[in-house]
């Protein structure tokens, strides 16, 4: 859902697979999250699919 949301919004993104990318897995586990997806926007981590929060981080000036 997150990938579709970002794609439909025209936002470029990078997918990091925690199953196949050891560095991504280490970073994910160190962050304390237990299940993906985690989306990081300007250093702010968003767990799961939270479209309102994603929109506010992407489009509201901070």
pLDDT value at residue 16: 95
3-state DSSP call for residue 45?
A: strand
pLDDT value at residue 62: 60
Per the structure, the complete domain to which residue 55 belongs is given by 2-59
Question: Where do we find the tokens 């985690």?
Answer: 38
pLDDT tens digits, residue range 5-49? 999 999 999 999 999 999 999 999 998 988 999 999 998 999 999
Which CATH number characterizes residue 10's domain?
A: 3.40.30.10
Long-range contacts of residues 55-60, Cβ cutoff 8 Å, at least 24 apart: 55/9, 58/9, 58/11
**What's the total number of domains in the chain?**
1
- Report the phi/psi class of residue 47: left, alpha or beta, with left for phi > 0 and alpha for psi in -120 to 50: beta
**How many whole angstroms separate alpha carbon 38 and alpha carbon 57?**
14
């Amino acid at each position: 859902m997150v990938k579709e949301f970002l794609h439909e919004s025209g936002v470029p993104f990078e997918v990091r697979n925690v199953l196949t990318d050891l560095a991504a897995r280490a970073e994910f586990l160190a962050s304390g999250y237990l299940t993906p997806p985690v989306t990081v926007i300007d250093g702010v981590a968003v767990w799961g699919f939270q479209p309102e929060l994603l929109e506010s981080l992407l489009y509201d000036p901070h």
